[in-house]
Amino acid sequence: MKYYKIEDLEIIDAGGEGKAVGKKDGLTVFVPFAVPGDVVDVEVYKKKKGYAEARILNIKKKSPYRVEPKCEHFGLCGGCKWQIMDYETQLKFKQKQVEDCFKHLGKFTFPSVLPIVPSKNKYEYRNKLEFAFSHLRWLDDDDMRLRDSGKILETRGLGFHIPGKFDKVLDVKRCLLQAEPSNEIRNSVKQFAIENNIAFYNIRNHEGVLRNLIIRNNTKNEWMVIVSFTEMNVKTEKLLKFLKDSFPQIISLFYVINTKLNDSILDLEPVLYAGDPHISETMEGLSFKIGPLSFFQTNSLQALELYKVARNVAQISSKDIVYDLYTGTGTIAQFVAKQAQKVVGIEYVEAAIEDAKYNAQQNGIPNIIFFSGDMKDVLNANCTKRNGKPDVVITDPPRAGMHPNVVARLLEMETPRIVYISCNPATQARDITVLAKKYSVAKVQPVDMFPHTHHVENVVELVMAE
């Protein structure tokens, strides 16, 4: 299509994927990097029936909710797209997102959505970041001007993939999502690799040695680093030794050899180079092991608030049998175990269940039993026959929501109370629509886990309809 301009477009909403929304002559226009209240001129570059996508050409009037982004990489990096919106307004639109999904996608009645629980930390809240090495980093406009003027640029980079460009990596100088020494570790690794001429990965040709750098930490300022190589040699050994000697905060240092076409290491075996095989996080006196492949909520402090909300909504008594579906490493299961007679945790990933069993044993919790396997296969009549019919079900599925067979099984089980935790209100609304055959929505409580993004967690209490 031919690009065209829309002038004086008023931004009226904050939509999905972090894009703002304007309307012009019946056309819905999605605009990244705009804020509700802005009046902008935009260029439409994609148009479909009923909607268009556009980029800002000029801001005619700034929204009162617009603020200056703190991150120097804002606009190029794919994360933190709502940094230009003040935090209270972010919370307002996250809550509205839940309400809109339930109103427009769900077919059930629900009470007023409770005020969203804000995040205590607005920056440096993540406990895990993954960076990619690239032999040819993304060159921004300033880089191009310098290159055109004859300046020789360092083209190797270590950072985040540019959105929509699998082979382009933005070299990150300072990320505000994780506390220090995260930036110092990443920048030191990059500089050491350049000085020692260790080949950065070429994702198109699948050549090079350095692939990925994963940095994890806990609230005790203990750090885990995993470096992904395509091979182990004298230079990579030297890099690992440099990390070990330079950063005493790194108490767990791993490497992994990845010769596959994709960056995932979940199916690979990390090798412990130095230190402990895991770090741990403590919440309410409970300790949780975090290994190189472990899943753990990436905002530790806010995860505690989310779990408290879920536990309060569950209203568990000492006689109750609780099923925790998609239990992961058993964090929620262990949070509610003290109140329950028995907790049954089910999770697809076997390694996560091994961590869950270890954590429960270390925490001295005897009334939990864990099972691994596909939820739709494990949660069957034999499961409830062996372990008892649940009085409360807590379910925290991935973004895709629950498998239809799992939803059907919940309807068969007729558990008095279901606590549904979701990071995707759209699929949550879809599942609740089916469950509404036998359940009514008693409570809706959003929780902000990821400031400066459009993502929102939502906790819903479902009770058997009378």
CATH number at residue 19: 2.40.50.140
| Assigned domain for 319 exists | yes
Q: Is 227 exposed, middle or buried (0-12, 13-18, 19+ CB in 10 A)?
A: buried
The residue with tokens 């050409």 is: 57
114 and 133 share one domain: no
pLDDT for the residue numbered 351: 86
| Assigned domain for 262 exists | yes
| Assigned domain for 75 exists | no
265 and 330 share one domain: no
Question: Positive or negative CA dihedral for 330, 331, 332, 333?
Answer: positive
Tokens for 97? 């997102």
Question: Considering only CA atoms, which of 420, 424, 413 is closest in space to residue 449?
Answer: 424
25 and 170 share one domain: no
Q: How long is the chain?
A: 466
Q: 311 by DSSP, 3-state: which?
A: helix
Task: Pick the last residue of a domain from 280, 302, 336.
Answer: 280
| Assigned domain for 71 exists | no
58 and 116 share one domain: no
328 and 276 share one domain: no
End-to-end alpha-carbon separation of the chain, Å? 55
With contact defined as beta carbons under 8 Å apart, do 427 and 435 qualify? no
Q: Within the chain, what is the greatest distance between any pair of CA atoms? A: 76
431 and 297 share one domain: yes
367 and 448 share one domain: yes
Domain hosting 59: range is: 4-66
Catalytic residue among 71, 77, 175, 423: 423
| Assigned domain for 220 exists | yes
The count of structural domains within the chain is 3
37-67: b (≥16 Cβ within 10 Å) or e: bbbbebebeebeeeebbbebeebeeebebbe
Question: Positive or negative CA dihedral for 420, 425, 431, 433?
Answer: positive
Which H or E run contains 62? Answer: none
pLDDT for the residue numbered 153: 82
With contact defined as beta carbons under 8 Å apart, do 373 and 348 qualify? yes
Task: Pick the last residue of a domain from 280, 311, 331.
Answer: 280
148 and 185 share one domain: yes
Give dist(CA 41, CA 54) in Å, integer.
10
455 and 329 share one domain: yes
| Assigned domain for 34 exists | yes
pLDDT for the residue numbered 164: 79
Question: Considering only CA atoms, which of 116, 100, 91 is closest in space to residue 428?
Answer: 100
Task: Pick the last residue of a domain from 280, 295, 315.
Answer: 280
With contact defined as beta carbons under 8 Å apart, do 31 and 42 qualify? yes
61 and 188 share one domain: no
CATH number at 346 reads: 3.40.50.150
Residues 6 or more apart in contact with residue 418 via CB below 8 angstroms: 392, 393, 394, 395, 410, 435, 439, 461, 462, 463
Residues 6 or more apart in contact with residue 414 via CB below 8 angstroms: 438, 464
With contact defined as beta carbons under 8 Å apart, do 376 and 403 qualify? yes
116 and 137 share one domain: no
Question: Considering only CA atoms, which of 397, 450, 453, 451 is closest in space to residue 425?
Answer: 397
Tokens for 37? 């209240």
383-401: b (≥16 Cβ within 10 Å) or e: bbeebeebbbbbbbbeeeb
Judge whether 423 counts as a catalytic residue. yes
| Assigned domain for 457 exists | yes
205 and 224 share one domain: yes
**Predicted TM-score of the model (pTM):** 0.93
The residue with tokens 């919790």 is: 365
| Assigned domain for 73 exists | no
Kindly list the averaged pLDDT for each block of 10 residues, start to end, along the chain of length 466: 92 89 94 96 93 96 97 91 96 97 97 97 97 92 81 90 87 97 98 98 95 97 98 98 98 98 94 97 94 92 96 97 95 96 94 92 96 93 94 97 96 97 97 98 98 97 92
pLDDT for the residue numbered 289: 92
CATH number at 200 reads: 2.40.50.1070
Give dist(CA 130, CA 191) in Å, integer.
17
